[in-house]
Amino acid sequence: MIKVSSYFRNCGIMVETQLLPRGISDRKTLEAFRNVPREFFVTDAYRDAAYEDRPLPLLCGQTISQPYMVAIMTQVLKLPEDKKALVLEIGTGSGYQAAILAYMGHSVVSVERLPELVEFARNNLENLDFCGDVKIFQGDGSSGWPECAPYDAILVTAAAPDIPAPLIEQLKQGGRLTIPCGGKDMQTLKTLTKTDNGQLEIKEELLCRFVPLIGKHAFPEGD
């Protein structure tokens, strides 16, 4: 396993210049961003740009999100500090978001549609000794992953026209879900809370732009 101490400087600069000025304040989120080396999760062609304030291309036309976007999606889930949560991630990508959640002490079930990215993410996560509790599956993320449900939190890293019903069904009462919703060109990041009495509360966070979520309960392939 690779130690992360030599990467503290770049991670720290990213936190100080990109995250703190934009209101990222959750202690555990900031700690994870200071300790998870982002360059492990980009392709070789973009290694030198790993800490820049922008999304970067991955394989198969996909992207690793801008650091701030990963941070705000993590923060709005309001994951517990004192116990391990079970988090469903839709859209594994390179594995960076899963690594952030794992560093925070949570179990992660991540679903990725593209086999090339499943392999890429698994290889990346193997480099870090705190990612042993991350499970990656290939499948239609818009259908969630019912085998491991219910989940304390769900995080979707691709855009859907609306919140897929299976994801709401697989969320525990009291749980939170964050997802970009809208068209393929622009979306609104939404946070859904399933209250203890089963009601759904939805909050709009900010405008954003993600690659589309392809699947039965999202955008059709080739549309």
CA atoms within 13 A on the CB side of 180: 24
Contacts of 35 (CB under 8 A, 6+ apart): 4, 8, 11, 103
Looking at every residue in the chain, the average pLDDT score rounds to 94
Condensed to tens digits (0 to 9), the pLDDT of residues 12-41 reads 999 999 999 999 999 999 999 999 999 999
Please tell me the distance from the alpha carbon of residue 170 to that of residue 146, in angstroms, as a whole number: 7
Distance CA 157, CA 9 (A): 27
**Residues in the chain, pLDDT under 70:** 1-7, 223
The residue to which tokens 């959750």 are assigned: 26
For the stretch 181-207, pLDDT in tens is: 999 889 999 999 999 887 999 999 999
Count Cα atoms within 13 angstroms, Cβ side, for 129: 5
Separation CA 66–CA 113 (nearest Å): 21
User: CA 200, 157, 108, 53: dihedral to nearest 10 degrees?
Assistant: -120
Domains in the chain (CATH in brackets) are: 7-208 (3.40.50.150)
Distance CA(205)–CA(215), nearest Å, equals 24
Q: What is the pLDDT of residue 127?
A: 84
Amino acid (one-letter) located at 44: D
pLDDT at residue number 173: 95
* 65 tagged catalytic: yes
Catalytic residue among 5, 6, 25, 65: 65
| Residues 11 and 34 sit within 8 Å (Cβ to Cβ) | yes
Q: Model pTM?
A: 0.94
- From the list 160, 138, 169, the residue with the least C-alpha distance to 208 is 160
Torsion of CA 12, 124, 171, 84, to 10 degrees: -60
What was the pLDDT predicted at 198? 79
Q: What is the pLDDT of residue 5?
A: 53
Residue with tokens 């198969």: 60
